[in-house]
Amino acid sequence: MKSVEIRNCNSRFHKNIGKYTVSLKDSCFHCGLCVEICPYCVFDRIDGFNHVSTPNSAGCLGPDCKEGPYYCTTKCPVDAIKIELDPQWKTLGDFRWTPDLIITTWQQAETGEIPRGNLEYRIGASGGGFDVFDFTIDDVTAISSEEIDNIITSDKISTSICLNRRGEGPSIEIPVPWYGAGMSFGSISLPSILARAHSAKAWKTFTSTGEGGYPDELIPYSNHVITQIATGLFGVSEETIKRTPIIEFKYAQGAKPGLGGHLLGDKNTPGVAKMRETVPWNSLFSPFPFHSVYSVEDHKKHIDWVKTINPDALISVKVSTPSDVDMVAVGSYYAGANIIHLDGGYGGTGAAPEIAKKNIAMPIEYAITKVHKFLLEEGVREEIVLLASGGIRTAFDIAKSIVLGADGAIIGTSDLIALGCVRCGNCESGRGCPRGIATTDPELEKQIDPSWGAQRIINLYASWQKQLKLLLYKLGLKDIKELRGRTDFLKHIDEK
Amino acid sequence: MYKRYHIETSPVELSTTKIGKFEIIRNDSCLNCGRCMTHCIYDVHKRDSDDPRIMSDPVNHLCKNCFSCIQNCPYQALEMIKNKEFEKLGNTYWTPQIIHTIWNEAEEGKIPIFGAGYRGPFRGSGFDDIWTDMSEIVRPTRDGIHGREYIATSVDLGRKLPWISDFAKLDLTNSYEIQIPMLLDTSPLGLNSRGIILPIIKAAHKLGTLAFLDIENYFDELKPYLKSIALRCSLDKITHLDRAPWREANFIEIALPQKYSISELERVLKKLKSENQTALISLGLTNPSLSAGIFKQFKEARADILNFYADNHGQSFEGNIFICESTRKLQLDLVKERMRDEVTILGKGGIAAAEHVPKIIICGADAAVLDLSLLVAAGCRVCKVCKIDDCPVELEKLDPEIAEQRIINMICAWRDQLLEILSAMGIRDVRRLRGEKGRAIFHEEIERESFEFIFKENGPVK
Ligand code: SF4
Ligand code: SF4
Ligand code: SF4
């Protein structure tokens, strides 16, 4: 794991968003004491200036800082520092991605460290599923910081998982129990794709092309790029199937289960259209389902077909979560899949009807349990890898998926948050993402520098791995694989 | 000639619905550098048209919450707060988000589509405790609204005879086909001005469905649309059954007061049937818990349709049961009594979003009655107390054509969303959705099934 290099990687903006606003009253006579005491660099005085600059509020810990030795408001001789809750805070995020989660994900992307402040980085506020589960470990601070450092840097605790559990075929192991979800060229920008691919390579894990073809720029990363074959077959060719270690069949996706894919016309720029072999500026719809697959037998034929082209590839099957998802999973197993990828309804990054995201198919938490149990009963659980996606936001969500019965997780939105996404949801139309992430607009996409973005994702993953190691240590485990199905480690959050 | 059902939409803006969720505040540190203008791709920031040296006030309702201007302003001059006016809309059931969604649907006539996954809570109460199913692989090809194959949304009102025993005595009651499983109601807030009634009835007419109208609000201008009107009167007020428009109506609803005599009801229905042999007869009920005995009486009195009224929050007037639960129970009871096809069930009250229509149908209704949502489409803000004389949007003075088109737009968006739900399930006909509990996932059941074994000892399931 020594190959992963964590480097500080700051936000690309003038102003960061924080929970508190710090302001200086007129009584401030610019003595500069605050500049000296605040360890979070909220205050600054530019060399040669008399005045303390406008405080950088985003760094402020707020009232929690009272506990520490450097609480500025009480130290200021003229009582000129005012700290208030920033009303702007409430405009950020939503139930699933709370402002706390967004900001702490940014912090992890910046530093590669487990967030230390008072913000909640493990759990959202959706009021159900992962957000009402907690681990049955009592104390977080009982371990000394040196010990923590030892745990998270040592190789004694393993977080790796194997992606092929059948007796035959190549064995592929990834050092962390997750890889990147398919996000197509067209739904996100090329710089964002490259950032994801680069970080996947650094972490020796994977990212997926999604249904938008395989840009040539990705070829240097081909050992870490999954080729997705989806119902529209956009940009799928023999070469792209041959060049990949894993082929992903996308039957359905959680955000719009049973509805195929959408790419609204505005985002189908000439570049995107070329890659997908379509006409620019036309809305693109991938049908649902594969029009050649109406049974497990058809499905097996599909798999045989790609296996003929690329015999060494592992096969992943991506399905969403209907009430008979357990049957679907077993069917995929018998058809020869190595990986079953369950995509729950609450995740997703692309354009999708709100009604589908909210209402169609069950949340991933239920589906994992259902499928895991059924595969166990069928006696095939140990031959297949079960991965979960669709609403997995944090290291703790990953751990909870594993506890419920998955082997690992697949990550989409969190990668984008690391790149600076605020989840405003405007990615789908017009010029796409105003922040340059999920866009194909040549001007807007310049905002992301691929190497900056890659470092941000690398850092986020580093922090996640540390959290998982720490969690395993506290649970008395040495390997993430031992965590699977250990629901005895889980408690309901309402329980006192 | 066969004509595929199609709803004609056209975008209609309304200045009173331009209430954004956010407000951008530009403070004194602004140096008018104009950088926010280049960063905002939604034209919120513009220079003052009179004095281009300065920035004009942000056009807040266009803001889409991307924080680009705020984070790129070199002088920390911008801040975003929640728009209080937005937060004040509606109430706990008709939330600002629900109202906002209807406004957008009414403006564009399109399915709301956004990027970046679901943003709401995991679950809620009532309708928000149900997920609909999808069908993964094994099912006919289907491409949703862009499909090659037609998905039918029409439903039949009226009883279906289990068999025909004697052609000579064939019941003359017609069944009536409406093109969408949605009926409209003209008086959700008890407002009865022409400005509100006319557009709703005309919309129903264009949409190939029916609109409920209280008889006392009938006026002659409505005559051409009589076939699209469901005439309604309370049992204790009904008179002049031998006159127009009773004799020409297609659909007659008798609203039953909380206490009524069944013999009186029988008398009135008999009289109605003799004056107008073809009209469908519906009973409007406030109490959703009915015994099998009462059903039999209704059936013998030859009621074709039962319309269950709930309040605007979906709670029944008697017994305080949410409309989903009462409909589910009703469906089960009728199925048990083997009477389900002998009566049509409608649910009215609390239908506030597109997904409520398929969900109430899954619970057992044949169709939903839309009421308050129609006013919202026309710009209503669901004030805490409706004072129509002091209406902030002057609802009654709205141009009826604008109101009509907005209602049609909203219903088109709702129908398209219904198609999305049906298509994900692989169902080609909304009639097959009725009572299909097996194609829905109910929170309580799935929670028990999935997690009870985990939290048996250490935590509550619910
Ligand atoms: S448009 Fe908004 S939600 Fe979409 S990627 Fe950009 S910042 Fe994220
Ligand atoms: S970027 Fe900031 S300083 Fe420049 S015009 Fe906009 S608000 Fe003013
Ligand atoms: S937050 Fe985004 S949409 Fe809103 S004004 Fe600023 S740049 Fe424009």
**CATH code, domain carrying A218:** 3.20.20.70
Dist CA A331 CA A384 (whole Å): 12
Pocket probe mutation, ligand 1, options A264, A424, A441, max atoms within 8 Å of Cβ = A424
Mutate to test the interface with B, among A359, A439, A495 (most CBs of B within 10 A): A359
Other Cβ atoms within 10 Å of A140 Cβ, number: 8
Count up the domains in chain A and report the number. 2
Q: What is the pLDDT along chain A (496 residues), one digit of tens a residue?
A: 456 889 999 888 888 888 999 989 999 999 989 999 888 889 999 888 888 988 888 888 888 788 777 788 888 999 999 999 998 999 999 999 999 999 999 999 999 999 977 889 999 999 999 999 999 886 555 678 788 888 888 889 999 999 999 989 999 999 999 999 999 888 899 999 999 999 999 999 999 998 888 999 999 999 999 999 987 777 788 999 999 999 999 888 877 777 766 677 777 888 888 888 788 888 777 777 776 777 788 888 889 989 999 999 999 999 999 999 999 899 999 999 999 999 998 987 778 889 999 999 999 999 999 999 999 999 999 999 999 999 999 999 999 999 999 999 999 999 999 999 999 999 877 788 999 999 888 899 999 999 999 999 999 999 999 999 999 999 999 999 999 999 999 988 876 5
**B103 occurs within a structural domain:** no
**A127 occurs within a structural domain:** no
Cross-chain residue pair A427–B29, CB shorter than 8 Å: no
- Contact of A168 with A157, CB cutoff 8 Å: no
Query: Which one of B63, B87, B111 terminates a domain?
Result: B87
Task: Give B298-333 as a DSSP string.
Answer: HHHTT--EEEEEB-TTSBBTTT--BHHHHHHHHHHH
Q: How many residues does chain B have?
A: 462
Q: Which residues pair with A81 in a beta bridge?
A: A24
Residues A443, A447, A452, A454: what is their CA dihedral angle, to the nearest 10 degrees?
Answer: -70
pLDDT at B182: 98
CB-based contact (8 Å) between A470 and chain B?
A: no
Look up the domain containing A272 and give its range: 161-492
**A43 occurs within a structural domain:** yes
SS3 category, B423: helix
Query: Which one of A85, A116, A136 terminates a domain?
Result: A85
**A189-240 per-position pLDDT tens digit:** 999 999 999 999 999 999 999 888 899 999 999 999 999 998 777 778 899 9
Find, in chain B, the residue whose alpha carbon is nearest to that of A362: B131
Selected residues 145-174 of chain B with any CB under 8 Å from a CB in chain A: 146
Nearest to B21 by CA among B114, B109, B131, B110: B114
Q: Which ranges of A112-211 does DSSP label H, i.e. alpha helix?
A: 145-153, 190-202
- For residue B130, give both structure tokens: 């149900």
Dist CA A335 CA A316 (whole Å): 11
Cross-chain residue pair B459–A495, CB shorter than 8 Å: yes
Pocket probe mutation, ligand 1, options A189, A349, A414, A435, max atoms within 8 Å of Cβ = A435
**B327 occurs within a structural domain:** yes
Helix and strand tally (H, E) in chain A? 14, 17
Count up the domains in chain B and report the number. 2
User: Is the domain of A68 the same as that of A170?
Assistant: no
Query: Which one of B87, B114, B145 terminates a domain?
Result: B87
Nearest to A234 by CA among A218, A217, A250: A250
Ligand approaching nearest to the C-alpha of A428: 1
Please report, for residues A132, B456, B459, the alpha-carbon distance to residue A136 in angstroms, rounded to integers and kept in the order given. Answer: 13, 14, 11
Give the burial class of A232: count Cβ atoms within 10 A of its Cβ; 0-12 exposed, 13-18 middle, 19 or more buried.
buried
pLDDT at A273: 83
- End-to-end Cα separation, chain B, in angstroms: 55
In A, which residues are within 8 Å of B123 by CB distance?
A: 127-128
- Contact of B372 with B380, CB cutoff 8 Å: yes
Q: Name the residue facing A355 among B64, B355, B455 (closest C-beta).
A: B355
**A328 occurs within a structural domain:** yes
In A, which residues are within 8 Å of B426 by CB distance?
A: 258
- What residue's CA is closest to ligand 1, atom 2? A424
**A135 occurs within a structural domain:** no
CB-based contact (8 Å) between A495 and chain B?
A: yes
* Residue B101 CB partners (closer than 8 Å, separation 6+): A354, B112, B353
Q: Name the residue facing A14 among B41, B72, B459 (closest C-beta).
A: B72
Q: Name the residue facing B454 among A128, A285, A487 (closest C-beta).
A: A487
CB-based contact (8 Å) between A434 and chain B?
A: yes
Which atom of ligand 3 is the closest one to the Cα of B24?
5
**B24 occurs within a structural domain:** yes
Find, in chain B, the residue whose alpha carbon is nearest to that of A329: B136
pLDDT at B142: 47
**B101 occurs within a structural domain:** no
Helices B400-425 and B356-363, interaxial angle, to 10°?
Answer: 60
Query: Which one of A85, A105, A130 terminates a domain?
Result: A85
Q: Which ranges of A112-225 does DSSP label H, i.e. alpha helix?
A: 145-153, 190-202
Cross-chain residue pair A126–B111, CB shorter than 8 Å: no
Q: CATH no. for residue B341?
A: 3.20.20.70
Q: Say how many CB pairs under 8 Å bridge A and B.
A: 271
In B, which residues are within 8 Å of A431 by CB distance?
A: 41
- For residue A227, give both structure tokens: 């080729």
- For residue B386, give both structure tokens: 């409706």
CB-based contact (8 Å) between B30 and chain A?
A: no
Q: Are strands A339-343 and A20-24 parallel, antiparallel or unpaired?
A: unpaired
- Contact of B332 with B296, CB cutoff 8 Å: no
Query: Which one of A30, A64, A85 terminates a domain?
Result: A85
Task: Give B159-226 as a DSSP string.
Answer: ---S--S-GGG---PPPEEESSSEEEES-TTS---HHHHHHHHHHHHHHTS-EEEEGGG--GGGGGGG
- End-to-end Cα separation, chain A, in angstroms: 39
Burial B396-410 (b: 16+ CB within 10 A, else e): eebebebbbbbbbbb
**B222 occurs within a structural domain:** yes
Dist CA B48 CA B55 (whole Å): 5
How many CA atoms lie within 13 Å of B301's alpha carbon, on the beta-carbon side? 24
**B116 occurs within a structural domain:** no
User: Is the domain of B227 the same as that of B361?
Assistant: yes
Other Cβ atoms within 10 Å of B373 Cβ, number: 32
User: Is the domain of A293 the same as that of A199?
Assistant: yes
Dist CA B210 CA B230 (whole Å): 6
Residue A411 C-alpha from the chain's centroid: 4
User: Is the domain of A167 the same as that of A77?
Assistant: no
Selected residues 5-34 of chain A with any CB under 8 Å from a CB in chain B: 11, 13-17
CB-based contact (8 Å) between A374 and chain B?
A: no
Is residue B77 within 6 Å of ligand 2 at its C-beta?
Answer: yes
- Contact of A228 with A410, CB cutoff 8 Å: no
SS3 category, B435: coil
CB-based contact (8 Å) between A361 and chain B?
A: yes
Please report, for residues A33, A39, A60, A73, B394, the alpha-carbon distance to residue A68 in angstroms, rounded to integers and kept in the order given. Answer: 16, 10, 13, 12, 57
Pocket probe mutation, ligand 2, options B24, B25, B26, max atoms within 8 Å of Cβ = B26
**A393-409 per-position pLDDT tens digit:** 999 999 999 999 999 99
CB-based contact (8 Å) between B448 and chain A?
A: no
Is residue B33 within 6 Å of ligand 2 at its C-beta?
Answer: yes
Find, in chain B, the residue whose alpha carbon is nearest to that of A439: B115
Handedness of CA A175, A178, A182, A188 (dihedral sign): negative
Which atom of ligand 2 is the closest one to the Cα of B33?
4
Q: How far is the CA of A117 from the centre of ligand 3 (A)?
A: 28
User: Is the domain of A72 the same as that of A168?
Assistant: no
Q: CATH no. for residue A26?
A: 3.30.70.20
Nearest to B179 by CA among B384, B397, B418: B418
* Residue B314 CB partners (closer than 8 Å, separation 6+): B93, B126, B127, B322, B323, B324, B349, B350, B351
User: Is the domain of B82 the same as that of B202?
Assistant: no
User: Is the domain of A257 the same as that of A390?
Assistant: yes
Q: How far is the CA of B73 from the centre of ligand 3 (A)?
A: 11
Q: How far is the CA of A27 from the centre of ligand 2 (A)?
A: 27
Q: What is the pLDDT along chain B (462 residues), one digit of tens a residue?
A: 677 888 999 999 999 999 999 999 999 989 999 999 999 999 999 999 999 999 999 999 999 999 999 999 998 899 999 999 999 999 999 999 999 999 999 999 999 988 888 999 999 999 999 999 988 764 544 444 555 567 899 999 998 877 777 777 766 556 889 999 999 999 888 888 888 999 999 999 999 999 999 998 999 899 999 999 999 999 988 877 777 788 888 899 999 998 888 889 999 988 888 888 888 999 999 988 887 788 888 888 888 999 999 999 999 988 889 999 999 998 998 898 888 888 999 999 999 999 999 999 999 999 999 999 999 999 999 999 988 888 999 998 899 999 999 999 999 999 999 988 998 888 889 999 999 998 999 999 999 999 988 876 554 443
pLDDT at A329: 93
Ligand approaching nearest to the C-alpha of B44: 3
pLDDT at A350: 76
DSSP letter at B142? Answer: B
Look up the domain containing B338 and give its range: 155-446
Q: How far is the CA of B65 from the centre of ligand 3 (A)?
A: 6
User: Is the domain of A253 the same as that of A349?
Assistant: yes
The one-letter amino acid code at A107 reads Q
Cross-chain residue pair A129–B71, CB shorter than 8 Å: no
Pocket of ligand 1 (CB under 6 A): A 416, 421-427, 433, 435, 437-438; B 66, 115-116
Query: Which one of B72, B87, B102 terminates a domain?
Result: B87
Closest approach of A145 to chain B, Cα-based (Å): 30
The one-letter amino acid code at A188 reads I
Task: Give A358-383 as a DSSP string.
Answer: HHBS--HHHHHHHHHHHHHHHT-GGG
Q: How far is the CA of A94 from the centre of ligand 1 (A)?
A: 13
User: Is the domain of B55 the same as that of B167?
Assistant: no
Dist CA B69 CA B89 (whole Å): 27
User: Is the domain of A286 the same as that of A387?
Assistant: yes
**B226 occurs within a structural domain:** yes
Cross-chain residue pair A258–B136, CB shorter than 8 Å: yes
Please report, for residues A73, A199, A327, the alpha-carbon distance to residue A333 in angstroms, rounded to integers and kept in the order given. Answer: 62, 30, 10
pLDDT at A141: 55
Selected residues 182-211 of chain B with any CB under 8 Å from a CB in chain A: none
Q: How far is the CA of B68 from the centre of ligand 3 (A)?
A: 6
Find, in chain A, the residue whose alpha carbon is nearest to that of B73: A14
User: Is the domain of B187 the same as that of B301?
Assistant: yes
Task: Give A398-467 as a DSSP string.
Answer: HHHHHHHT-SEEEESHHHHHHTT------TTSTTB-TTSSSB--TTGGGG--HHHHHHHHHHHHHHHHHH
Please report, for residues A4, A213, A227, B124, B224, the alpha-carbon distance to residue A219 in angstroms, rounded to integers and kept in the order given. Answer: 21, 12, 11, 46, 68
**B123 occurs within a structural domain:** no
Residue with tokens 């008709």: B94
pLDDT at A63: 82
**A62 occurs within a structural domain:** yes
- What residue's CA is closest to ligand 2, atom 8? B30
